[in-house]
């Protein structure tokens, strides 16, 4: 019997103060995004770990409507996926829940299967040109926005519209490439497993390819090395990340030279926001705290992460895994394996899963953010981010001058900020799943990327989750590590990680990648074998367990834990004293105690 978690609590019709249903009215393909509504408990909804901060009104509506729903449903219809029509989104407060949309009509499934039989081979034969032309199209639009003088544009309305379209188009390209690549990869994965290859080895066959995200990490590590040589270690040690820019500036001399190099680095790699497609968070260029904090922690480690050695190891491990797998196959099976490996090396899904974030996820909301900040300045808003608390129709009205910002909208923004903060604090208490909860899901994307396997689905329904000390999850990256747990709500808190910390979080995304150079292990609520944490854990050789369901509830900040990424077990060895002052102060909201 499926367990039903009611959605009534979140389906009251109330949402952000001043919300009207037409604020969410936009074209949709199969199912539109929106706040939870009565009847939604018939679906199976999972709390999406990508947006653990919560989303502002503008971020929530545009990302869920133009990105999450439009992008996935567009791609699922175009390829098409025979039994799936993409993903839909609902909001409980500021928090996004996702649900896969099934196709159940057997005749439709048959017709869709015939279409993918033509379209998937065509995609794989032309993968490089399809992905690169999509990427180049987006880079061209990006270059256009970089050349736009936002401050010198009298009417921002068109720019805001263009920026919104850029994001929406990016999501069409994103999922249009992701679905067929994933289909090819999981087909290969299944064939390998059926041929008796250890599934833990399969992930290794495609590792060791350099990505833009790893390139960024190496750049930061080099900057840390240069800071050390320039004698700046003291400045980094004695200042918090948010004070570093000013402190280095005051120091002058070598510190100023270093800052110049740092800024040059940011001009290439700093156009990345701290979250996937979230207009509500700044880029590294806008807020240097994150990259400076990363340099600070790189300096704390005496032995710098050896990127060259790690890459060499990843490649050697890959070759060894491929050779080991091939040697156990018959000649007939080797022919299938070799062809499948070649196809997946050409269209390398795990590589793309990391690399594309540089071109798409971390960047495509920035032009809209710039437009909103320019508008905030013009209407004399209290805070440069105030426009992010408007809904799109309100934003357009302010941009065209139809509605003044000062007055009613301004006070709504103040109330919406409170609403956002209220739900931000409640993140740790949000149900991980809502609606009709199956014992197992069949959608491979939900299993392999989101980590929704029978074990984690069971774990998130355990009322005694907070008391457990031994947890089982997906053995995502091998090895064992012990250390002090740091339970983080979002990558905003990455500065709290020390070298040797055990990272505990809902899940990681590309903004987290640099911390894998210093942490000893990772334990995540979500994420399957193909999740970001699993892929990056393997690349960096960091023991990682994913799909624990409730690690952020069971583990408290400061606990001593052991992560066994070979068996997929996480054990709490010593509970932190809940009265320790610094732990209580550091613990993210909703998790302390």
Partner 1 sequence: MTVEDVGEPTVHSCDAVVWIDEVDPQQAIAAGGSKMGRLAELMQSGVQVPQGFAVTVDAYSRHCRESGLDERIDAVIDRLGSSPDDAGVEEASAAIRQMFRETPVGAHLTGRLTEAYEELCLRCVDVNVPVAVRSSATGEDAADASFAGIFDTYLGVSGIERVLDAVRNCWGSLFTARALAYRLRKGISHHAMPIAVGVIELIHARASGVAFSVHPVTGKSDRIVIETSWGWGEAIVQGLVDPDHVEVGKSDGRVLKYDVAHKRIVSAFDFAVGAVTEIDMPAKLADRQVLDPEQVGAIASAVTAIEEHYGHPVDVEWVISRHRRPGDPVCIVQTRPVTVTAAPEEAAPAAYDPVALAQKYLFSGRPIPGR
Residues in touch with partner 1 (CB under 8 A):
81-83, 109, 113, 116-117, 120-121, 124, 183-184, 186-191, 193-196, 198-199, 327-333, 335-337, 339-340, 343, 440, 442, 444, 447-448, 453, 529
**Least gap, CB of 135 to partner 1 (angstroms):** 22
| For the chain, the helix, strand and coil percentages under 3-state DSSP, each to the nearest 5 | 55, 10, 35
In the complex with partner 1, which residue's Cβ is closer, 230 or 336?
336
- Nearest-10 Cα torsion for 290, 291, 297, 301: 160
**Least gap, CB of 185 to partner 1 (angstroms):** 9
C-alpha 90, offset from chain centre: 18
Place of tokens 């005051």: 250
Place of tokens 């190891």: 313
**Least gap, CB of 114 to partner 1 (angstroms):** 10
The alpha helices in 97-156, defined as continuous H runs, are 106-125, 127-147
Give yes or no for a contact between 544 and 525, defined as CB atoms under 8 angstroms apart: no
Give yes or no for a contact between 536 and 354, defined as CB atoms under 8 angstroms apart: yes
In the complex with partner 1, which residue's Cβ is closer, 394 or 443?
443
Q: How far is CA 250 from CA 209, 258, 268, 329, 583, in A?
A: 41, 13, 25, 64, 32
**Least gap, CB of 559 to partner 1 (angstroms):** 29
368 closest CA partner among 71, 90, 148: 148
CA distance 484 to 142: 41
Indicate the pairing of strand 502-505 with strand 480-488: parallel
Which DSSP state fits 479?
A: -
**Least gap, CB of 325 to partner 1 (angstroms):** 11
**Least gap, CB of 472 to partner 1 (angstroms):** 14
**Least gap, CB of 531 to partner 1 (angstroms):** 14
Counting other chains too, the contacts that 409-414 makes at CB distance below 8 Å and 24 or more residues apart are 410/381, 410/382, 410/386, 412/17, 412/18, 413/381, 413/386, 413/389
In the complex with partner 1, which residue's Cβ is closer, 190 or 231?
190
In the complex with partner 1, which residue's Cβ is closer, 347 or 520?
347
**Least gap, CB of 192 to partner 1 (angstroms):** 8
In the complex with partner 1, which residue's Cβ is closer, 257 or 339?
339
CA distance 386 to 392: 13
In the complex with partner 1, which residue's Cβ is closer, 343 or 507?
343
CA distance 474 to 230: 43
CA distance 426 to 321: 44
In the complex with partner 1, which residue's Cβ is closer, 110 or 252?
110
**Least gap, CB of 223 to partner 1 (angstroms):** 40
**Least gap, CB of 12 to partner 1 (angstroms):** 35
**Least gap, CB of 318 to partner 1 (angstroms):** 19
In the complex with partner 1, which residue's Cβ is closer, 243 or 338?
338
**Least gap, CB of 144 to partner 1 (angstroms):** 36
In the complex with partner 1, which residue's Cβ is closer, 143 or 327?
327
Q: Is the peptide bond before 80 cis (omega within 30 degrees of 0)?
A: yes
In the complex with partner 1, which residue's Cβ is closer, 120 or 425?
120
**Least gap, CB of 340 to partner 1 (angstroms):** 4
In the complex with partner 1, which residue's Cβ is closer, 438 or 499?
438
In the complex with partner 1, which residue's Cβ is closer, 343 or 583?
343
In the complex with partner 1, which residue's Cβ is closer, 304 or 336?
336
Q: How far is CA 30 from CA 23, 33, 102, 164, in A?
A: 19, 10, 10, 21
In terms of Cβ atoms closer than 10 Å to its own Cβ (0-12, 13-18, 19+), residue 235 is buried
Counting other chains too, the contacts that 416-422 makes at CB distance below 8 Å and 24 or more residues apart are 416/16, 416/17, 416/18, 416/56, 416/57, 416/389, 417/389, 419/16, 419/17, 419/93, 419/94, 420/54, 420/56, 420/94, 420/389, 422/93
Place of tokens 């519209």: 161
């Amino acid at each position: 019997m499926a367990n039903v978690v009611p959605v009534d609590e979140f389906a009251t019709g109330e949402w952000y103060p001043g919300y009207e249903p037409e604020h969410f009215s936009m074209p949709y393909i199969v199912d539109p995004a929106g706040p939870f509504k009565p009847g939604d408990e018939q679906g199976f909804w999972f709390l999406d770990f990508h947006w653990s901060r919560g989303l502002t009104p503008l971020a929530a509506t545009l990302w869920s409507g133009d990105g999450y729903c439009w992008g996935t449903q567009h791609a699922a219809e175009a390829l098409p996926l025979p039994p799936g029509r993409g993903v839909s989104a609902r909001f409980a407060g500021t928090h996004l829940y996702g649900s896969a949309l099934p196709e159940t009509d057997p005749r439709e499934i048959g017709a869709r299967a015939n279409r993918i039989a033509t379209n998937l081979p065509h995609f794989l034969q032309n993968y490089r040109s399809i992905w690169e032309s999509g990427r180049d199209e987006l880079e061209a639009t990006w270059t256009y926005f970089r050349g736009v003088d936002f401050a010198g544009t009298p009417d921002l309305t068109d720019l805001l519209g263009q920026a919104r379209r850029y994001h929406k188009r990016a999501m069409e390209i994103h999922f249009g490439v992701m679905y067929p690549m994933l289909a090819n990869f999981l087909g290969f994965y299944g064939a390998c497993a059926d041929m008796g290859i250890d599934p833990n080895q399969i992930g290794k066959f495609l590792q060791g390819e350099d990505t833009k995200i790893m390139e960024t990490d190496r750049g930061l590590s080099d900057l840390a090395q240069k800071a050390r040589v320039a004698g700046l270690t003291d400045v980094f040690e004695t200042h918090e990340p948010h004070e570093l820019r000013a402190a280095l500036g005051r120091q002058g001399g070598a510190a100023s030279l270093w800052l110049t190099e740092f800024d040059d680095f940011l001009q290439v790699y700093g156009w990345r926001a701290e979250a996937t497609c979230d207009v509500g968070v700044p880029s590294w260029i806008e807020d240097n705290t994150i990259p400076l904090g990363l340099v600070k922690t790189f300096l704390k480690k005496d032995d710098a992460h050896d990127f060259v050695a790690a890459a060499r190891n990843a490649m050697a491990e890959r070759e060894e895994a491929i050779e080991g797998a091939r040697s156990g196959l018959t000649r007939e099976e080797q022919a299938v394996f070799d062809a499948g490996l070649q196809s997946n090396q050409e269209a390398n899904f795990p590589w793309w899963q990391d690399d594309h974030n540089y071109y798409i996820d971390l960047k495509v909301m920035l032009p809209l953010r710039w437009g909103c900040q320019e508008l905030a300045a013009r209407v004399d808003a209290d805070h440069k981010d105030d426009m992010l608390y408007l809904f799109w129709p309100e934003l357009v009205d302010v941009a065209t001058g139809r509605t003044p910002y000062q007055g009613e909208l301004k006070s709504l923004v103040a109330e919406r900020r409170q609403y956002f903060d209220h739900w931000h604090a409640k993140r740790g208490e949000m149900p991980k799943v809502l609606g009709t909860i199956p014992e197992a899901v069949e959608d491979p994307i939900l299993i392999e990327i989101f980590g929704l396997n029978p074990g984690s689905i069971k774990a998130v329904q355990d009322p005694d989750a907070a008391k457990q000390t031994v947890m089982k999850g997906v053995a995502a990256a091998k090895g064992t590590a012990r250390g002090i747990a740091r339970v983080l709500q979002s990558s905003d808190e990455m500065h709290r990680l020390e070298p040797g910390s055990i990272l505990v979080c809902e899940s990681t995304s590309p903004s987290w990648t640099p911390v894998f150079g210093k942490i000893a292990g990772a334990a995540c609520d979500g994420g399957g074998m193909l999740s970001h944490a699993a892929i990056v854990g393997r690349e960096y050789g960091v023991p990682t367990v994913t799909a624990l369901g409730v690690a952020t509830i069971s583990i408290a900040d400061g606990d001593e834990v052991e992560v066994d990424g070979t068996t997929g077990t996480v054990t709490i060895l010593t509970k932190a004293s809940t009265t320790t002052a610094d732990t209580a102060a550091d613990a993210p909201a909703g998790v302390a105690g």
